[in-house]
Structure 1
């Protein structure tokens, strides 16, 4: 069993430094100091560690305990916490590092939460067959650059399409739309990270009697939709009011978006 200690630094020969080879999870801490959906985040992290054959053996319970202890010792409330596990370096006999950090939630009380997002379509094409696209790795430069380019151009984020012209995700979130009463989202085969909040939305929507469909969709499908919203573990559910020059709504998010957002907010506070 791996001797779990929280690292304060990383060896310069760690594969995380050399090649961006590390995995991470980011999650919200509510006003009571509880991490939302921590169990699922740790599950995904461990699944990816197994997929990439990380040379460590960390029990799920110990990771959860470490995160909860960090939250308690630092009196964290209404912030985000990031749990990172580096690959280490077997050749150099460098062990993996476990790092926990925190930062303010940039969407808490932000104007964007009321107004919604305006998205653009990125000129960078997503490879649906990439071996890393379905895992939350720190190899994030493409996403970062695309997101920054969108911000500099007056948008909140950018949508990736794959080599077949199918919508995948944005630089930092999954995407949903409502058409003819059906909640739709790109399937994982399109080339995207299956987010924890994406999973939550699909499960809760079905429980609320909302028909859901995963499939292959185009930008035109989004622009012709009745509602569009994006999701991730920091902002939760964010309505989209425009894609490039096409308005999705003028003054208020749609009923499906509102219902899911209300449910999300309630569960976040009850976590």
Structure 2
């Protein structure tokens, strides 16, 4: 009995100098790196300042020296869009690792960081944003420093997969019943006209869209409370929604088997979606509300 489905030949072996990726890359071997996902609308970045600032904060937290100064980083990111002639909605994935060096847990000496970035088309999830989505709850088993946007995402991946297997959009994470965030987004509860979300401590990611939501609420006179809530509080919610750079402002209609409010996206969620579109410069013909005018 053979343990191989394929008999190896000399053509299956590649010299390390001919690899298409750096040999002994610490991002691959240790998850020793950081990343950002930046939204692009109509060929223009949205919240790029917030993303770049967070990238450098994450790098400082894990002691990675970013290979470019901020001004150079902006220039490189703009070149990426120009080289790809991006004029539509897209996302840019940017990753920085500690570099390539012989495998050792300790930091390598005199090793330059590796930077990777690519752009990919990403149309807006109009139908989901209009209709709302369903979620499940999962125990939050991640490390305590989730404010660092690191490559160590296996717990997030497993939580998202659990949601996918249940036919749901997201997994709402909690520690002993206290809601933190979702597998790849921040989560909010609306009760009596007030928006509640977990405080921006080290155990959650300080979302770029999350910061905008706080601004939107302030300008609309909506109380925004950085105050944690529990799983059982969902039964008293009038609305629930999540935010991220790729999900924007997404209404949540169900958490596990619990229907939120009247089972439809709520008034505050809808208003925040409008403000998001205005802030992001979404054209009228691409507007969530224009495309669903008949449903209104």
Q: TM-score, normalised by structure 2?
A: 0.81
- Using the TM superposition, name which of 39-48 and 219-228 deviates more: 219-228
The yes-or-no answer on 1:193 pairing with 2:205 is yes
Q: Evaluate the alpha carbon distance shift between residue 21 and residue 190 of structure 1 in structure 2; reply closer, same or farther with a 3 A threshold.
A: closer
Give unmatched runs, 5+ long, in structure 2.
Answer: 1-18, 102-106, 284-296
**Number of equivalent positions:** 258
Match of 1:50?
Answer: 60
What per-residue deviation string (whole Å, max 9, x for no partner) do you get for residues 57-102 of structure 1?
5211111111111111101220111111111145274421111112
What per-residue deviation string (whole Å, max 9, x for no partner) do you get for residues 137-178 of structure 1?
11111101110111111211111111x421001111000111
1:233-248 superposed matches below 5 A: 233-248=245-260
Give unmatched runs, 5+ long, in structure 1.
Answer: 1-7
Q: Evaluate the alpha carbon distance shift between residue 46 and residue 227 of structure 1 in structure 2; reply closer, same or farther with a 3 A threshold.
A: same
Shift of 1:230: 0.1
Q: Evaluate the alpha carbon distance shift between residue 204 and residue 9 of structure 1 in structure 2; reply closer, same or farther with a 3 A threshold.
A: farther
Q: Which has the higher contact order (CA 8 A, sep 6+)?
A: 1
Residue of 48, 51, 74 corresponding to 1:64: 74
Residues in 2 aligned to 1:155 and 1:204: alpha-carbon distance in whole angstroms: 28
- Using the TM superposition, name which of 173-182 and 56-65 deviates more: 56-65
Match of 1:36?
Answer: 46
Report if aligned partners of 2:40, 2:46 keep a CA contact under 8 Å in 1: yes
Match of 1:130?
Answer: 144
RMSD between superposed Cα atoms in Å: 2.1
Secondary structure of the corresponding residue to residue 43 of structure 1: helix
Residues in 2 aligned to 1:225 and 1:75: alpha-carbon distance in whole angstroms: 44
Match of 1:95?
Answer: 112
Report if aligned partners of 1:190, 1:216 keep a CA contact under 8 Å in 2: no
What per-residue deviation string (whole Å, max 9, x for no partner) do you get for residues 106-137 of structure 1?
x6245322221101111x3345x623x11111
Report if aligned partners of 2:147, 2:201 keep a CA contact under 8 Å in 1: no
Residues in 2 aligned to 1:207 and 1:47: alpha-carbon distance in whole angstroms: 27
Report if aligned partners of 1:184, 1:215 keep a CA contact under 8 Å in 2: yes
Residues in 1 aligned to 2:267 and 2:281: alpha-carbon distance in whole angstroms: 21
Q: Evaluate the alpha carbon distance shift between residue 44 and residue 9 of structure 1 in structure 2; reply closer, same or farther with a 3 A threshold.
A: farther
Shift of 1:181: 1.2
Secondary structure of the corresponding residue to residue 108 of structure 1: coil
Residue of 153, 173, 197 corresponding to 2:166: 153
Match of 2:14?
Answer: none
Report if aligned partners of 1:159, 1:167 keep a CA contact under 8 Å in 2: yes
Match of 2:27?
Answer: 16
Secondary structure of the corresponding residue to residue 270 of structure 2: helix
Structure 1 residue runs of 4 or more that deviate by more than 6 Å after TM superposition: none
Which structure has the greater CA radius of gyration? 2
Report if aligned partners of 2:125, 2:247 keep a CA contact under 8 Å in 1: no
